[in-house]
C-alpha cells in the first residue's frame, strides 16, 4: 500500500470537481527507461498496445504529501512488464487543485508500447 493512501483518496475526491490544468511537457519519437538494443527494422514493427502511465503526489493544503512524481516512473507504468519502449510518446503534467484544501499533481506518459 502506498504511504499516504488516505490522502490520495482525498485528493482524487477533490479532483473530480476541482479546477486544474494540463500541459504537454514533450513529444518524443522513441522513449524508454530501460536499456534497449534497437535494430533499424524495429522502427517499422507493429506496436503491441497503447500504453498509459501515471504517477501522482497528493497535495494537502499547499504541501505535496510524499515523494514528488517522476517522469521515469510514469513511463515505466506505460511500458509495463511486457514492453521495452514507447513510440510516439507524449508526456503531460496535470495539476488538479482546490486552493488550500487538496489536490494532486501528476505526470502522465502515453505511447505505443513495443
- Whole-number Å distance between alpha carbons of 28 and 10: 33
Residue 14 lies in a domain: no
pLDDT tens-digit series, residues 42-65: 556 777 899 999 999 999 988 999
Confirm whether 97 is domain-assigned: yes
Q: Which of 38, 54, 50 is nearest to 113 (CA)?
A: 50
In a domain, 13, yes or no: no
Residue 45 lies in a domain: yes
What is the domain count for the chain?
1
Convert the pLDDT of each residue in 77-94 to its tens digit.
999 998 889 999 999 999
Tell me, yes or no, if the pTM score tops 0.95: no
Residue 6 belongs to some domain of the structure: no
Which domain does 109 fall in, by range? 19-113
Residue 73 lies in a domain: yes
Is residue 5 in a domain? no
Amino acid at each position: 500500500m502506498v504511504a499516504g493512501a488516505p490522502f490520495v483518496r482525498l485528493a482524487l475526491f477533490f479532483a473530480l470537481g476541482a479546477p486544474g490544468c494540463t500541459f504537454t511537457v514533450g513529444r518524443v519519437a522513441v522513449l524508454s527507461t530501460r536499456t534497449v538494443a534497437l535494430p533499424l527494422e524495429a522502427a517499422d514493427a507493429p506496436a503491441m498496445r497503447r500504453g498509459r502511465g501515471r504517477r501522482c503526489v497528493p497535495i494537502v493544503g499547499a504541501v505535496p504529501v510524499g515523494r514528488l512524481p517522476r517522469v521515469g516512473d510514469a513511463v515505466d507504468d506505460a511500458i509495463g512488464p511486457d514492453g521495452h519502449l514507447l513510440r510516439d510518446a507524449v508526456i503531460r503534467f496535470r495539476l488538479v487543485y482546490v486552493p488550500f484544501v487538496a489536490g494532486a499533481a501528476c505526470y502522465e506518459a502515453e505511447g505505443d508500447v513495443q
